[in-house]
Structure 1
């Protein structure tokens, strides 16, 4: 027989140590995962502490509230895994399962102290770990390999609590199997394994998430949330190479807000910023997920439309301008109109710099013709043409 007291002490020490470490991590990074994992560790620490009340005058509350706190920890793990997929978890879901567990423990106790509420506790622990396993399975494997051992542990725990539920339901709380194979000591061992493995592996996942967030911020324009120029050039070059291999067309739109300097001079830079953000929002509302759009510089924007020709590109400029004109503007301000230059190629062969250069020439023509219009380059670019040097 395993020494239950020693295992409980070991579990408490491990939980307390990890809780202190992750609480410090949360204070430094303020990451959502660290907050959920710290909360889960705190619940498990308090839950195990509640069991010690069984030998006191508070013994009636020890098991139901201890079980409720352990279930809260399991659902906290689930919420933490969801945060790694940038998903929010409603708070009522986190409180509902522990609440049901506590209610069942309080109101389903028989006079001999055999807790029928344990069946609810086993079930909800299994549900919490199953939900966590599902979130791990949905994590993109290319993001990190750290989730694979976690998934194995989660599946083992789901199977463990599932078998425990069956034994408890069929043979009752006095089952010999329940007191040996599924005894509290075995549960303690599994929880220690879970805590250590999850803590180290999830640190790797959390670091990967933080690095991804930093990379995303580095690629984005702070005012509009669109790609910045450097990120656009890198992604567009890759996209064009893929389109060329597939024999597909591409179109580039270069756009410029008309008389933008007068907006700043007349209404102030805050009004100019509002116009830039409104145009960015119009682009986001019009373009497909496969399209690339960036703030190219100042009030100038560039768009890559994979698989599009100049006719569809012109239709997109019309829709963007319509959305911009319909957008709510600050008092006393009319958003500026927009001029567009469009270039395209039947097969995405020419270099990106050549497509942008040609679109810039068409944009100059649009401005010379009176602005507030789109000009298409006189002829689609020849894929065999020599690319311009950058």
Structure 2
């Protein structure tokens, strides 16, 4: 992989090309004019043969195989943790760099967990694999890290309002089917979720630990500490599924060592990359998922003093977790690798034990 070759464009493979995030990855690569010389679309045998449009051409999805990663510089993976674990070593040994959207490698010591607006410097430490954080972690991190830089956060409490699309395209269709069934006095289907989500809410259905926290909540805790390089940061999360098709929302409470002026917080967030400050107090108008769907920025608002604590701040956000919470962040990592000339072959058999 010589400099001359890279100057002619990057050979990219998208693993999981037919899923909700995979489709968004392909769209963003085109929208953002990523310097691609060749794009290879990979998926399971079930999806092989499907066609996807890219830059005016119809590309055929191939079945993933070891051979498929030959002559590839960069792999953007969004096919789930088991697929990432199965193919990571093959990808790295082929000389490609893997940007993985699953949870498979996020907490591995030698795998950078990157949000380009927060810790771009971490990308330089990669050994062939970089991890994309969980969607809720990315959205929250964008909103609170600029404040943390100005005045370190002592404690962070968050409650999430997570849409169906966080569980994939099939989950979105299931919610629509559930709504139709309920309105017709029929039994709603429950395949993607354990309970009906239409006209309902329930705590996130990922496995619970001994302390009563679910896997999704602990992702937010552990990943945020790693991204912020603040291993002792006190964080508690409550994650909830809500009957929204796309875009997650979060209510966040921040505690500082001393009072944080609301005006200063608004000033900082209004100038932070990847964020849009949206507040209309007169009309009680703040970020909403139906308006942030399809948007790149995370929308933040309703920033106010916590009336229960003199050093507390409250804020609300909404963001498209398929875009910034997944696909966009992965493409931004890829752009960072190109900009900083970090798409280099690795001589190691694998960056992590897989």
Query: Shorter-chain-normalised TM-score: which range?
Result: under 0.3
Report the TM-score, using the length of structure 1 for normalisation: 0.25
Higher strand share: 2
Higher relative contact order (Cα pairs below 8 Å, separated by 6+ residues):
2
Q: Identify, as 1 or 2, the structure richer in helix.
A: 1
- Bigger CA radius of gyration: 1
